[in-house]
Structure 1
Amino acid sequence: MNEIFGFDAFSPKEIAEKVDTVGVAKARLPLLPMLMLAVLAGAFIGLGALYFVVVKSDPTIGFAARQVLGGVTFALGLILVIIAGAELFTGNNLLVMAWADRKISTVELLRSWLIVCLGNFIGAIGLALLVYLSHHPDMNQGAIAREYINIAGAKTSMPFWTAFFRGVLCNALVCLAVWMALAGRSVVDKAVAIVFPISAFVAAGFEHSVANMYFIPMAMLLQLGGATHEAVASITWLDFLSNLVPVLAGNLLGGTVFVGFIYHVIYQKTEDLS
């Protein structure tokens, strides 16, 4: 079966089994390692976002090239999460498969999501503070700082349902990237599997909750430091929540239902009926 997929990759059926096994291990991590790994993931996604803004802030690049190249650089975040090892809320939406197979309890599932989401926020906002103090956004005559504020302004002014559905589409692609990375046996396999779905969601302008935990606080810090953008008013914590709530909800739906639950029905439920 594996030969069909080339280079001895795991088949989709085998991936489903791995997702179950990995999901049980993730859900039952002790509190401190789970939280620390989640903090790392928040920082890793923030590093991908930082890399993305360097590309996005260059006005000499055409729109399509800037979106696609920015997406490729943003993929650094998930590559670090998968290969270096960390706990990311959006990818961990796939734990729903182990829950649907009754291998973990509802309490274990919700505990994992809550702790990992909190840790991701700590890691993302912690990185934002470090990057702000490094004066990295001052590069290119402050163009990077202005781009952060522009990005955050667009996100916080987005209508609720637009943010929600962009969150759905984003995490369907993120969870597919995680799913395909599990097919690989080498670092190269995993990195290649990640790049295309992640660059696609970024290029399309979809919304990732953990990335926004970095983007928006960074813009708030820059505004506090005196940076401005002519088209963006002062961003507040309420603005941040107005984006985070629908995007989190959309990410949760996109990852659990449109990837996790569908693959559960295909590969696990059919076994129960046979």
Structure 2
Amino acid sequence: MTISPVPSPPEPSLCVLAEQYGYAKVVKSASQSLGLSIFAGAFIALAFVFYITVTTGAEGAPWGLVRLTGGLAFSLGLVLVVICGAELFTSTVLSTLTYVHKRVTAKQLLLCWARVYVGNLFGASLILLLVWVGGMHQLDHGQWGLNALNIAQHKLEHTWWQAFALGILCNMLVCLGVWMTFASKEALARATLLMLPVAMFVSSGFEHSIANLFMVPLGIVISEFAPAAFFDGLGISAMSYQDLTFANFIINNLIPVTLGNIVGGGVIVALGYWVIEQQSKLLQIKGH
């Protein structure tokens, strides 16, 4: 008698894998979550250091190519986050899937988001301190610092609703990049899948709340604490950057961008795919 092979169970969908990913984040111990989120904040800050470096002094090059180069450089941050297992707020919002599956409470979800956000802030602030003490703003005769100032100031030129919309667009791409990594267990493949979505959001000027926790405070620190000789050497006035204040940053950039990031990743990507998954299951049930 021929024995039929036992059929292997079907591979879980990316939506199921994303839900498992989010659940692991929410139930992780607070100390472990905080530690990993500090690393993530540092990784994203280092990625922005890389971005500033590769785009400094490129004024004569084609605008789009400069942005693409900077975006590819910045993708190092998310690659480090995913491959090294750190906790980044913008990808953590995918855990809304866990909430709609009723595996965690709203309180657990929000506490997870809060500790990851705070940890990301600590990590970004640590790199900011090291960059300032290291005098990186003086690189290329101060052009590095000038580039950082201009990037930070540009982020505060958006209206509230522009910042919100750019935050949505940003985290759609970040979370779609992370979503794609669920399709592979190979580190190189996962890293490669992340690069273009991240390069697109950075080169297109979309807004990432955790990156801004480093970038805008860096501009504020340079504008407030760089000596007069720094500005004199560049032939500019520190008063040109008087809009760079923490109050302006928090109200007109950080709050709308953070909310936009939650909508883009936690609602549009996560819940959008969840709705489609539920419809698919209903059709399968009706088919039987």
* Whole-angstrom distance in 1 between the partners of 2:56 and 2:23: 41
* Whole-angstrom distance in 2 between the partners of 1:67 and 1:252: 25
Partner SS state of residue 84, structure 2: helix
Instruction: Quote the residue 1:183 is aligned against.
Output: 183
Instruction: Quote the residue 1:161 is aligned against.
Output: 161
Instruction: Output the aligned Cα RMSD.
Output: 1.7
Gapped regions of structure 2 (runs ≥ 5)? 1-9
* Whole-angstrom distance in 1 between the partners of 2:130 and 2:60: 28
Contact 1:90 1:252 in 2 (8 A): yes
Give the alignment partner of residue 249 of structure 1, picking from 259, 267, 282: 259
Instruction: Quote the residue 2:39 is aligned against.
Output: 40
* Whole-angstrom distance in 1 between the partners of 2:62 and 2:274: 41
Count of residues in correspondence between the two structures: 264
Point out the structure with max Rg over C-alpha.
Answer: 2
AA partner of residue 262 (structure 1):
G
AA partner of residue 266 (structure 1):
I
AA partner of residue 255 (structure 1):
G
* Whole-angstrom distance in 1 between the partners of 2:222 and 2:282: 54
2:235 is the alignment partner of 1:225 = no
Instruction: Quote the residue 2:75 is aligned against.
Output: 75
1:116-131 equivalences under 5 Å are 116-131=116-131
- 1:14: Cα distance to partner? 2.3
Instruction: Quote the residue 1:15 is aligned against.
Output: 14
Instruction: Quote the residue 2:272 is aligned against.
Output: 262
AA partner of residue 267 (structure 1):
E
1:103-114 equivalences under 5 Å are 103-114=103-114
2:26 is the alignment partner of 1:27 = yes
Instruction: Quote the residue 1:7 is aligned against.
Output: none
* Whole-angstrom distance in 1 between the partners of 2:24 and 2:208: 25
- 1:232: Cα distance to partner? 2.6
Partner SS state of residue 235, structure 1: coil
Partner SS state of residue 85, structure 1: coil
The answer to which of 19-28 and 67-76 deviates more is 19-28
* Whole-angstrom distance in 2 between the partners of 1:166 and 1:79: 22
Question: Structure 2 length normalisation: TM-score?
Answer: 0.87
* Whole-angstrom distance in 2 between the partners of 1:214 and 1:163: 16
* Whole-angstrom distance in 1 between the partners of 2:15 and 2:108: 20
AA partner of residue 244 (structure 1):
L
Cα deviation 1:96-116 (Å, max 9, x = unaligned): 111111122111111110110
- 1:184: Cα distance to partner? 1.6
Instruction: Quote the residue 2:3 is aligned against.
Output: none
Question: Structure 1 length normalisation: TM-score?
Answer: 0.92
The answer to which of 259-268 and 244-253 deviates more is 259-268
* Whole-angstrom distance in 2 between the partners of 1:272 and 1:123: 44
Instruction: Quote the residue 2:133 is aligned against.
Output: 133
Partner SS state of residue 158, structure 1: coil
* Whole-angstrom distance in 1 between the partners of 2:249 and 2:93: 22
AA partner of residue 110 (structure 2):
L
* Whole-angstrom distance in 2 between the partners of 1:212 and 1:272: 42
Contact 1:125 1:218 in 2 (8 A): no
The answer to which of 53-62 and 136-145 deviates more is 53-62
Contact 1:41 1:81 in 2 (8 A): yes
Partner SS state of residue 90, structure 1: helix
